[in-house]
């Protein structure tokens, strides 16, 4: 199911980056790659140092007051009218889709709506706002693609990852049989329902391995952590990488700029 249609603006001079907790704590290279890709497109990246969590873990656990308190701390971090890019469909979906409802009928409603309107999933921004052109400098490789549920259903960017990978002439992308199914992470879902989550990720890893690829890429660090961690624990021949890191490495940190 695709998200709502968006009107893509002209490429701006600046953007804000909302880095996400998992990028900050576990996959900083993905955030850095996103910054480098944006800067290579001629965009100045602003990173508000006071940013923390988007509030999604509390929100999806039913603690809306606590989620509102966490989310409210983010609303003042983006004062200028620049786009807010997020290297995660999950956190992007929280900010764009759920902030308006979370702050409805509160004094922060207008500010939350303004922030939500400016939120973009980072790969979508690169493809459809920057019109990025990628020049593959890597050796031939085969990968499978996993798109998170939030990126697919809330942000409507399921086609973006395959489109970016399709620009890489030396990369073959294998389609997995369970492309539209959840990996079982779901933030706190994996903690509250470990048996169900474990069964889901087991099926997801099997589907990715069945493609014949030995590497997968994804737009979300939560999915990356869950799938790659299960594959390692179950001794499956599968490694994972955030798509931003993969794109930056494949293009060698040079070339790939759009006009």
Q: Mapping DSSP to helix (H, G, I), strand (E, B) and coil, where does residue 53 land?
A: coil
Per-residue pLDDT at 2: 44
Is pLDDT of 135 > 60?
A: yes
Of 172 and 256, more confident: 172
Are residue 20 and residue 98 in the same domain, yes or no? Answer: yes
Q: How is residue 149 written in tokens?
A: 């549920």
7 in a structural domain: no
Instruction: Look at residue 158 and tell me if it is in a domain.
Output: yes
Q: What percent of the chain has pLDDT over 90?
A: 92
Do 73 and 162 lie in a common domain? no
Do β-strands 44-46 and 14-17 pair in parallel, antiparallel, or remain unpaired? parallel
- Per residue in 51-80, pLDDT tens? 999 999 999 999 999 999 999 999 999 999
Does residue 258 belong to any structural domain of this protein? no
| Residue 69 placed within a domain | yes
* CA proximity to 86, closest of 180, 185, 155, 152: 155
CA gap 48, 41 in Å, rounded: 20
Count of the separate structural domains present in the chain: 2
The pLDDT of residue 4 is 55
Place of tokens 């999950």: 90
- Tell me whether residue 136 is in a domain: no
258 vs 163 pLDDT, higher one = 163
Q: Are residues 19 and 119 in the same domain?
A: yes
DSSP 134: -
Range of the domain at 114: 14-128
pLDDT range class, residue 3, cuts 50, 70, 90: very low
Looking at residue 236, which CATH number applies to its domain?
3.40.50
Residue 123 forms part of a structural domain: yes
Q: Does 259 map to a domain?
A: no
Strand bridging mode 141-146 / 14-17: unpaired
Residue 8 belongs to a domain:
no
Cross-strand pairs, 217: 145, 241
What is the average pLDDT value for the chain, to the nearest integer?
94
- 159 and 215 inside one domain: yes
The answer to whether residue 226 scores a pLDDT higher than 70 is yes
Q: State the average pLDDT over residues 92-118.
A: 97
């Amino acid at each position: 199911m695709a998200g709502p249609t968006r009107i893509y603006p002209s490429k701006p001079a600046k953007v804000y980056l909302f880095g996400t907790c998992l990028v900050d704590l576990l996959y900083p290279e993905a955030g850095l790659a996103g910054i480098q890709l944006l800067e290579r497109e001629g965009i100045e990246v602003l990173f508000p140092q006071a940013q923390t969590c988007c509030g999604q873990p509390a929100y999806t656990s039913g603690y809306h007051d606590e989620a509102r308190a966490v989310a409210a701390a983010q609303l003042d971090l983006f004062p200028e009218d620049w786009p807010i890019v997020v290297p995660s469909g999950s956190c992007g979906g929280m900010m764009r889709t759920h902030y308006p409802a979370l702050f409805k009928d509160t004094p922060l409603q207008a500010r939350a709506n303004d922030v939500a309107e400016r939120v973009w999933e980072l790969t979508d921004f690169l493809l459809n706002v920057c019109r990025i052109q990628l020049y593959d400098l890597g050796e031939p490789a085969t990968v499978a693609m996993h798109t998170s549920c939030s990126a697919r259903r809330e942000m409507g960017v399921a086609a973006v990852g395959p489109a970016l990978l399709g620009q890489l002439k030396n990369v073959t992308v294998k389609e997995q049989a369970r492309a539209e199914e959840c990996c079982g992470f779901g933030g706190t879902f994996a903690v509250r329902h470990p048996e169900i989550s474990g069964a889901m990720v087991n099926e997801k890893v099997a589907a990715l391995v069945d493609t014949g690829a030995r590497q997968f890429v994804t737009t979300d660090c939560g999915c990356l952590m869950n799938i790659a961690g299960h594959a390692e624990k179950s001794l499956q021949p599968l490694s994972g990488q955030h798509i931003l890191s993969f794109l930056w490495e494949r293009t060698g940190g040079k070339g790939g700029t759009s006009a």
